[in-house]
Each structure stands twice: as C-alpha cells, then as structure tokens.
Structure 1
Amino acid sequence: MDGTDDKDVRLRESAEKLALTLSQSGMQKTTARVMTALLFSQQETMTAGDLCEVLKISSGAVSGAVNQLIPTGMIERVPAPGSRRDHYRFREHAWATLMGNQNTLLAGMWDAAAEGIKVAGKESVAGRRLDEMQDFYGFMQREMAALIDKWREQYDSDRG
C-alpha cells in the first residue's frame, strides 16, 4: 500500500467514525455515511456510482440519502460538463447553512410558546413556563444569527 492508499484508508476510517457519531445523534446511518463520504473525499465531486462503490451500498440507498441531504444545505448537485451523471459535493459553508436553518426551528418554538401564552395567560402556571421557553428561543434565534455572521466574517478575513 503506498502513501496515497494509506491516506485514503485513514480518511475513510475518520469519515466512518463521524458517520457513527452522527447516527448515534439521530441521523439515519446511510445518510450520515453519504454525507461524510463527500466531506472527507479528496475528489471535488462524486457521482452516485462513486458513493455506491466507496460505501458498498445500493444506488437506492444513495438516492434516499442525497434526497435528505440536499434540502439541508449540506450537499449540492453540481453540473459536470461532458457527464450525463449527477455529481454531488459537500457545500462550501455547509455548517453555517445548517445552523442557519436551525433558526426556522427556533422561530417555530418561539411561535408555539407565544400561542400557548395567548391561550393560557402569561401569569398562569403554563404561561410562566411558556414565557421562559419563548424568552429562551428568542434569545437563541438572535444569537445564532449573530454568531453565524461573525463566523463568516472571521472565516472570510482569515482566508482573505
């Protein structure tokens, strides 16, 4: 095994470790494996066939994973001139996009608390709990957006 093969094996092992962590945190195992294969790949893009070969999974499994990952903003389908196959890659700034998408969840939680307060009344037992929930999710929503903006500025500045 030459140095390149050894590096590829170690990268694949690292990808599988992360996939395991993600699946233990609730992500479907195949989806996690496809995502990490694209993240750790030395190739700019991979086809579904590439993913099937590397991961030893079916094309249907790859298709299902891709269909779950594209809407999250983690991966994207990209054109490949001269190729009739779909090519996929891990998106630039995917982590910030993923965290930014969490603001939709945070807003939904804030709205649910507001609706509950309107019905229960702010001074009721439920209202006091819901008020704390609303305050927390409002804070998280504001801070998350500011943190992502700050990270983007720092990232761009560092690579400037």
Structure 2
Amino acid sequence: MTARVLATLLFTERPSLTMGELAETLHASAGAISGALKMLTSVGLAERVAAPASRREHFRLREDAWAILFTNQNETLTAMQAAADAGIAVTDNRSAAHQRLTQMRDFYAFLMSEIPAILDRWHDRGQ
C-alpha cells in the first residue's frame, strides 16, 4: 500500500490529496492509507500541508523528497542509530551481537556524516 500511495502522490496533477481521496482512488481502507502515509512521512517522502478552505489533512510528495530520504529529517535513519546504541548498551562488548550493533551504529554514523557533501553536490547540479 505504501508503494501505491507513493505512486499516487507522484502521478497526481493536484497540489495535494486528502486521506479520503487517496482511499477512494486506490480503493483502500482508511487504515491502510493512514499506515502508508505514516511510513511515507516518517522517511520524509510525503508531508502534511494546509489547504485553503479545508479542515481535512492534505498530503503531497515533499519538495526534494529523494534527498530528504538521506538527511537528519529521516526518522528511520535516526531510529536505526538509536536502536544500535540501545543494543550496544545492553550487550557484552565481546559478544557477536555487540560487534554487529557497533558496526551498524558506525555505518549509520558514517553515512550521516557523508550525506551533507553528497547533497551539496546534488544541489549544485541545479536539481
């Protein structure tokens, strides 16, 4: 469902869509749409936006969505780092789990430190 909601947000010509409109378009339940939007907003691909004269929540594909996937605004990357840190804190530093968690934490820390330069180069290309 997440992929279907993402595709709908990608292909719509409208500035934003409500959950109801997504549900109707995709012939899906409100719960399925809600879960998909939660995932898409948590990783920075979709965002809630205000719509004039509407009290309903509207959603759209976020400006520069693909770059956002790799920034601090991505809750998933932050959660992965936090999960690794929590696991490291409760495992014996000689255990295989501790070593795997340390590698995981170090990978995400490295990735997060490299991403700003990559995004700068991306933006310099005029994207």
In structure 2, the residue matched to 1:140 is 107
Where in structure 1 are there 5+ consecutive unaligned residues?
1-29
Distance of 1:145 and 1:47 partners within structure 2: 33
Counterpart position of 2:54 = 83
Among 21, 31, 36, the alignment partner of 1:50 is 21
Contact 2:45 2:62 in 1 (8 A): yes
Dislocated runs of 4+, deviation >6 Å: none
- Secondary structure in 2 aligned to 1:156? helix
Unmatched segments (≥5 aa) in structure 2: none
Residues 115-130 of structure 1 aligned to structure 2 (within 5 Å): 115-117=90-92, 122=93, 127-130=94-97
Quick check: 2:81–2:109 contact (8 Å CA) kept in 1? no
The residue correspondences of 1:15-94 to structure 2 (distance < 5 A) are 30-94=1-65
Q: 1:52 to 1:115 in 2, by over 3 A?
A: closer
In the alignment, which of 80, 87, 95 is matched to residue 105 of structure 1? 80
The residue type paired with residue 34 of structure 2 is: S
Q: TM-score, normalised by structure 2?
A: 0.72
| Cα offset, 1:60, TM superposition | 4.4
Tell me how many residue pairs correspond in the alignment: 123
CA distance in structure 2 between the aligned counterparts of 1:135 and 1:63, rounded to whole angstroms: 34
Letter in 1 for 2:10: L
Structure 1 residue 156: Cα displacement: 1.8
In structure 2, what is the Cα distance between the partners aligned to 1:64 and 1:129? 34
Task: Provide TM-score, normalisation by structure 1.
Answer: 0.60
Report the 3-state secondary structure (helix = DSSP H, G, I; strand = E; otherwise coil) of the residue aligned with 1:77. strand
Q: Per the alignment, do residues 133 and 61 of structure 1 end up closer, same or farther by CA in structure 2, a change over 3 Å counting?
A: closer
RMSD (CA atoms): 2.7
- Answer whether contact 1:110 1:137 (CA < 8 A) is retained: no
Separation in structure 1 between the aligned mates of residue 10 and residue 111 of structure 2, nearest angstrom: 24
Instruction: Calculate percent identity across the aligned residue pairs.
Output: 32
